[in-house]
Amino acid sequence: MNSLLRTLLGRLGGLLLTLFLASVVIYSALLVTPGDPVSTIAGGAKPTPELIAQIRAEYHLDDPVWMRYWQWLSGVFTGDFGRSFVYKTDVLNLIAPRFGVTFQLVLLTVVIILIFGVGSGVLAATRGAKVDRAVSIATSLGMALPTFVVAILLIWVFAKSLGWFPVFGEGAPGRDRLWHLVLPAVSLAVMFNAYISRVTRSALVAQLHSEHVDTARVRGIPRARIFRVHVFRNASPQILAIAGTTIAGLFAASAIAEQAFGLGGLGSLLTEAAARKDLPVVQLVSLLLVAIFVVLNAVADLVSALIDPDSVASGRQA
């Protein structure tokens, strides 16, 4: 247990270092960006010298680089996230309401992936060659169906032709919201479903062919119990590690579904801010997405470790 604790502490240190370095990379984006941010902040009008001076003072553009980075980073920790160049409001005010939409979209997508992705992987591994073949053809196709293609197909069939689902926007919170998020979540889930299905299948098959499962069979343990205790449990750390990385990536990938269905989430905010060169917004949303990605990966590692400590102690080193 001691070595496990040490490994996990090492991982935590590596995680913080990675996050810090990523924040430096994201912040330096502002510095190497060609063009003067003053023109973005002032908007279309030609700014007067007084206005330029006022803007430069307000956004601390004349301070040295390390000082501006320090102010930005300490701001991130104290709740001062900077101001949008375009909306002239605190970045936090822009992000807070949109985070909920993205979070709910990702949550619904994860539910779909856990049911259909893991479910079809289990079926492929346990229900014979025919089912395995059918699932493998479906996943081969699924891996080539990106979110934006599935999105336009769903809009065409279920929103336009059949009229079952709304086409645009996130709707009012509650049941209406869920209704609006079904198609975006499905479009986001298809490719990841295929991937998780394959990972699940191959992890299970590896266990099914292992010696300890043969031994359990010979001992006459019921099939269902063998599957639960000896197969699924041993395969789960591997499935979880990949599922964690997948879920972590969904927060960034949701930008595409949000764009296709006109949802006001984090991804559409990031896209819009990038198009308008609103760097404070781009930086903070990017940092948030990176933090989510890194932390969820670490959580998946941790959960895998709790299920099967050996996989961490003997596994890949951070």
Partner 1 sequence: MSVAQLAQGSVPHAAKRAARRDAVFTASVVAFGIIVAASLIGPWIAPYDPNELYVGPVNGVVSLAHPFGTDDVGRDILSRVLVGAGASVFAPIAIVVLSTLAGALLAVLAAWYGGVLRGAIARVVDVIFAIPGLVLAVLAVAMFGKGLVAPVIALSIAYIPVVARLTQTAASRELGKPYIAALRVQGVSSFAVCFRHLVPALVPVVAAQMAVGFGYAMLDLAAISFLGLGQQAPAADWGSMIASGQSAILAGAPEQSLFPAILVVVTVLAVGIIGARVTVWAEEKER
Chain residues binding partner 1 by CB under 8 A are 14, 17-19, 21-22, 25-26, 29, 32-34, 136-137, 139-141, 143-149, 152-153, 155-156, 160, 167, 191-192, 195, 198, 202, 242, 245-246, 248-249, 252-253, 255-256, 259-260, 270-271, 273-275, 277-279, 282, 286, 289-290, 293-294
**Cβ proximity of 129 and 270 under 8 Å:** no
Query: Least distance to partner 1 from the beta carbon of 231, Å?
Result: 18
* CA atoms of 268 and 249, how far apart (whole Å): 16
Tokens of 189: 């889930």
Nearer to partner 1, 146 or 222 (CB): 146
Query: Least distance to partner 1 from the beta carbon of 25, Å?
Result: 7
Nearer to partner 1, 23 or 236 (CB): 23
Query: Least distance to partner 1 from the beta carbon of 45, Å?
Result: 21
Nearer to partner 1, 145 or 221 (CB): 145
**Cβ proximity of 295 and 14 under 8 Å:** no
Nearer to partner 1, 123 or 221 (CB): 123
Nearer to partner 1, 216 or 255 (CB): 255
Query: Least distance to partner 1 from the beta carbon of 58, Å?
Result: 21
Nearer to partner 1, 21 or 111 (CB): 21
The answer for residues whose C-beta is within 8 angstroms of residue 141's C-beta and 6 or more apart is: 194
Query: Least distance to partner 1 from the beta carbon of 178, Å?
Result: 22
Nearer to partner 1, 249 or 315 (CB): 249
Query: Least distance to partner 1 from the beta carbon of 54, Å?
Result: 24
Query: Least distance to partner 1 from the beta carbon of 264, Å?
Result: 15
